Amino acid sequence: MADITLKINGMEVTAPAGSTILEAARLAHIRIPTLCYLKEINEIGACRICVVEVKGARTLVTACVYPVSNGMEVWTNTPRVLAARKETLKLLLSDHDKECLSCVRSGHCELQALCQEYGVDDAHEFDGIMNKFELDTSAPHMVRDNNKCILCRRCVAACEKFQSIGVIGANNRGFKTNIGCAYDMPLGDTACVDCGQCIAVCPTGALYEKDDTDAVFAAIADPQKTVFVQTAPAVRAALGEEFGFEIGTPVEGKMAAALRRLGFDGVYDTNFGADLTILEEAHEFLERVKNGGKLPLITSCSPGWVKFCEHYFPDMTENLSSCKSPHQMQGAVMKSYLAEKKGLDPKDIVTVSVMPCTAKKFEHIRDDQDATGYPDVDIVITTRELARMIRRAGLDFANLPDEKFDDPMGEYSGGAVIFGATGGVMEAALRTAVYWLTNDDVNTPVDFTEVRGNKGIKEATYEVAGIKVRVAVASGLANARELLTKVQKGEAQYEFIEIMACPGGCINGGGQPRVSAEVRNFTDYRAKRASALYGLDKDAPIRKSHQNESLKKLYAEYLGEIGGEKAHHLLHTTYVKRGLYK
């Protein structure tokens, strides 16, 4: 289709046909503020913050949904436009809990930033009746505070369109409208999978993860406890954003230094657990292929996906790998192998996981995640919570030196670090499975690029040692639903499937640093974070999990055979078939 020519603020702008005023303005480097708008999933023009003037239009129009046309004349910053936006912000504040100083989003709140930008300093102009809502703390991973909700419906769109779950929506009408579950059911009683994508897109402090930082500080201060911490692959690709680094800047060394200065007794890398997962999962895959086991084998690293499977595809729980996720495996090893090496009693060890994922807050309290008789992982905090701890401890993160993780769980392969990106688990598993099938570590491929990238569903077929392996990768549960429905109907056949709950994988987890709508809508931040992980993989001394010498030592000294009885007891788990409610 032909391009459209229009004028914005008196300047001629060319934009593709079908563009909105918002998109055309962006091409001209003109920013129009938004609150409710999320590209492709929440284009509803509800908040009225993006209003502009259009020549010939009787009223102000919403730029996020209004299409451009040839010869159109638009003004984005007239007194009428600025006054309308300011009035809208005042109205939003009139029914908003304005305790900003104690709000978890203070300084990172999109509503707060717009109020500062538009000089909204009289928050009491529309004083009157305010709604008062009880906090919903029923879910294991998050809190809903509707007193800070602006009804933008971004959370509703993420739950429905990213994840195809739709357990939240608008209840009641008019002034009493609020976001919640059907029949005002507590979130914890629904088939929510704890992914946190609603938290990630919320512009205010209405949604936030349950904060466990005080529990971590208390454990560190307890002289009777030895506190070990581990950090997931994706955390290093995003933590720097909390301290002013560009999106996609890897900060692994500074993160290790910060954890050590927070007072942890051992600072370990979950990448070790990722390598461990690959050995067990690749072994399980080949066993199923050779012995007629249940196929396709589906990865089990993403707890949001596992819970989704249990709720919505319970008949396919038998396809799930029995492997625990990497941090749970590593927690089990910390309280067994590491405890023995250090002469510690598991009851005196506190294991803390720093994760990009809010669903891990549920996973670590699941049944069958306590191989030593004690929880494999005691406390889970998100990337955002770690950033809060670093700030609270007064650490100058940007100027910390680069340090290494502690041994014996500091060594990892390049295959482990790409676990944080969609397709990474599949690629790492293929690197080891192909080696085991060919017994050739020199000529076998390392890069399986067909499963990389942020496309929602990816497919590939590989021929290895006479075995045809058809694989698929999905990220985002709406894509998982589409893929698995085809498998159930016999419309698609695979031997191996990787699924991650969050679109793009763990680099876009619900516990990662928040990305404003302005960045989400116009920047591929997921690709930037993934690029950091693939860069670490490319530069790694070893790139295949089975080449990890520390891992070989773990099996030789303690676990015995890969997939053996001891390894299975410590590193594998079970699942349940859930209904559509708790």
Q: Is residue 580 part of a domain?
A: no
Domain identity same for 456 and 353: yes
Do residue 149 and residue 268 come from a single domain? no
Judge whether 507 lies within some domain: yes
User: Which of 77, 102, 137 finishes a domain?
Assistant: 77
The CA distance from 513 to 520, in Å, is: 12
| Residue 40 structure tokens | 């492709």
Pairing relation of β-strands 207-209 and 142-144? antiparallel
Domain that holds residue 410: 224-571
Looking at the fold, whether 45 and 115 belong to one and the same domain comes out as no
Q: Report if residue 417 sits inside a domain.
A: yes
Query: Are 390 and 470 found together in one domain?
Result: yes
Same domain, 115 and 169: yes
CATH number of the structural domain spanning residue 161: 3.30.70.20
Q: Which residues of the chain have pLDDT under 70?
A: 1, 122-123, 581-582
Do residues 65 and 200 both lie within one domain?
Answer: no
What pLDDT digit, counting tens, does each position of 162-180 carry? Answer: 999 999 999 999 999 999 9
**CATH at residue 67:** 3.10.20.740
Bridge-based pairing state of the strands 467-475 and 3-8 = unpaired
Question: Are both 12 and 128 inside the same structural domain?
Answer: no
Whether residue 264 lies inside any domain: the answer is: yes
Question: What pLDDT score does 127 carry?
Answer: 82
d(CA 477, CA 508): 13
Q: Residues of the chain with pLDDT > 90: what percent?
A: 95
Alpha helices, DSSP H only, in 366-423? Answer: 383-392, 414-417
Q: Which of 153, 174, 209 is the last residue of a domain?
A: 209
pLDDT at 465: 85
How many domains, the chain?
Answer: 3
C-alpha angle with apex 272: 454 to 468, nearest 5 degrees?
55
Residues 260 and 358 in one domain: yes
Q: Does the residue 435 lie in any domain?
A: yes
Provide the H-helix boundaries in 160-237. 197-201, 213-221
Q: Which residues have a Cβ under 8 Å from the Cβ of 122 and sit 6 or more positions away?
A: 90
Q: Kindly state whether residues 328 and 432 are assigned to the same domain.
A: yes
Do residue 298 and residue 183 come from a single domain? no
DSSP 280-334: HHHHHHHHHHHHT--SSEE----HHHHHHHHHH-GGGGGGB--BPPHHHHHHHHI
Answer yes or no: is 582 within a domain. Answer: no
Q: Is residue 315 part of a domain?
A: yes
* Closest C-alpha among 120, 40, 52, 56 to residue 87: 120
Q: What's residue 578's pLDDT?
A: 93
CATH number for the domain harbouring residue 555: 3.40.50.1780
In a domain, 252, yes or no: yes
- pLDDT value for 581: 57
Phi-psi label, residue 164: left if phi above 0, alpha if psi -120 to 50, beta otherwise: left
**Predicted model pTM:** 0.96
CA atoms within 13 Å, Cβ hemisphere of 383: 28
Tell which of 185, 209, 233 closes a domain.
209
Q: Within this chain, do residues 512 and 476 fall inside the same structural domain, yes or no? A: yes
* Helix axes of 270-291 and 424-438: crossing angle, nearest 10 degrees: 60
User: What confidence tens digit (pLDDT) does each residue in 513-565 have?
Assistant: 999 999 999 999 999 999 999 999 999 999 999 999 999 999 999 999 999 99
Q: Does 174 share its domain with 124?
A: yes
pLDDT at 123: 66
